[in-house]
Amino acid sequence: MQWNIPLFCSLQYVLEFASTNHRGFFLSIIQPFIIPKRYENLHRQGQFFVYRGDLEHPYAPGNKWHKLKYHLLEAQARQAKYIASLGGPYSNHLHAFAQTLNTHLEFKALAVIRGELHPRLTPTLRDVVWNGVELWPALRRDYKRGLHADVVKQINALYGDVYWIPEGGGGELGAKGCLDWAKHIEALDNQYDAWVVSAGTGTTAAGLLSHPQPVDLHVISALKGAEHQRADILALALSLKTMNSTQTELALDKRLFFHSEAHEGGFAKHSGSLLEFIDECNAVNPDLPLDPIYTCKTLFYVMKQWHKGDWPYRRTLLIHTGGLQGWRGYA
């Protein structure tokens, strides 16, 4: 069920009751983004808007619900008793996973955590435990092996019937949820020449890319050394394409612009100029909180391109992927 609330100051709102396994509703908003003065480009005309994914869902904001949705349905279809996933001690994914499971579903939940667990848990892990998830620490070396890690084998041996959600809610099912997300966003407003989204695993980007909307998709990686990821995103988008559309590989390839140089020193690191940008951005967009790992770097990168004259688009939609709980990891 869906209804539109009248347009208000060029903000667009849609309230929509969410689907299976999800009580409550989505709040979808597109709002204009005010370019901080230092990044203005007086020789070009262009507008930026932000799709406020961070406001969408009470427990799994941004891309989180979309990446979890089909995994949860699959776990239910398989009648799994246990559901498990992996993440770091500040993981947005594990936070959303725990809150969603506690609020809506009947699985017993487990989480493998990268690195040792310290007696004083991070705020993210405190919430994860509070929501009833059992934590399993993994040595970094073992954790890197993902679903092949020894700790995963140990858990399978102990519990037997475990449905595993890959790190970050990834894989084809995660991307499929993001394809639905792209349809939802496009239905709200399709008058853009480019969409921009942050990337970690690239799952969200693959889902958005597989949507046949013929706009350019700019993907900004939060990771250092992620150059190889473009090919992975394309391959994942193509695997969805076989299920959903008739786009050719060439067409997808042409629409995908991958940027691996926006990490500002590395994952979760902040350069001085990035911190300044966050302040400048807040000053002119006081109702637009950026997360510390993904959206701040994405917007910073795009604004620099715009200022240099390297952003050719007239109307750009930046997709806010949530992650605001991550600020609790910083002093």
Q: Which residues bind ligand PLP (CB under 6 A)?
A: 62-63, 92-93, 168, 198-205, 291, 294, 321-323
Nearer to ligand PLP, 131 or 221 (CB): 221
Largest CA distance in the chain: 64
- d(CA 88, CA 143) in angstroms, rounded, equals 10
Sheet holding 82-87, edge to edge: 134-138, 108-114, 82-87, 162-165
Helix/strand/coil (H/E/C) assignment for every residue in 288-301: CCCCCCCHHHHHHH
Query: Minimal distance in Å, beta carbon 101 to ligand PLP?
Result: 17
Nearer to ligand PLP, 41 or 147 (CB): 147
46 φ, ψ to 5°?
A: -160, 155
Query: Minimal distance in Å, beta carbon 159 to ligand PLP?
Result: 25
Nearer to ligand PLP, 46 or 232 (CB): 232
Query: Minimal distance in Å, beta carbon 37 to ligand PLP?
Result: 27
In angstroms, the Cα distances linking 276 to 42, 246, 287 are 21, 44, 17
Query: Minimal distance in Å, beta carbon 165 to ligand PLP?
Result: 12
Query: Minimal distance in Å, beta carbon 153 to ligand PLP?
Result: 24
Query: Minimal distance in Å, beta carbon 63 to ligand PLP?
Result: 5
User: Helices (H), strands (E): how many in the chain?
Assistant: 11, 12
Pairing relationship of beta strands 216-221 and 256-259 according to DSSP bridges: parallel
Query: Minimal distance in Å, beta carbon 200 to ligand PLP?
Result: 3
Query: Minimal distance in Å, beta carbon 331 to ligand PLP?
Result: 20
- d(CA 168, CA 94) in angstroms, rounded, equals 8
Nearer to ligand PLP, 159 or 180 (CB): 180
Token readout for 256 is 């995908």
The DSSP-derived string for 8-62 is ETTEEEEEEE--TT--SEEEEEEEEEPPPGGG--TT---EEEEE-GGGS-SSSTT
Nearer to ligand PLP, 35 or 205 (CB): 205
Nearer to ligand PLP, 138 or 165 (CB): 165
Alpha helices by DSSP H, listed for 39-165, are 64-77, 92-104, 123-130, 140-143, 150-159
Nearer to ligand PLP, 201 or 316 (CB): 201
Are the C-beta atoms of 197 and 321 separated by less than 8 Å?
A: yes
Residue whose C-beta lies closest to ligand PLP: 323
C-alpha 281: how far from its chain's center?
21
Nearer to ligand PLP, 31 or 63 (CB): 63
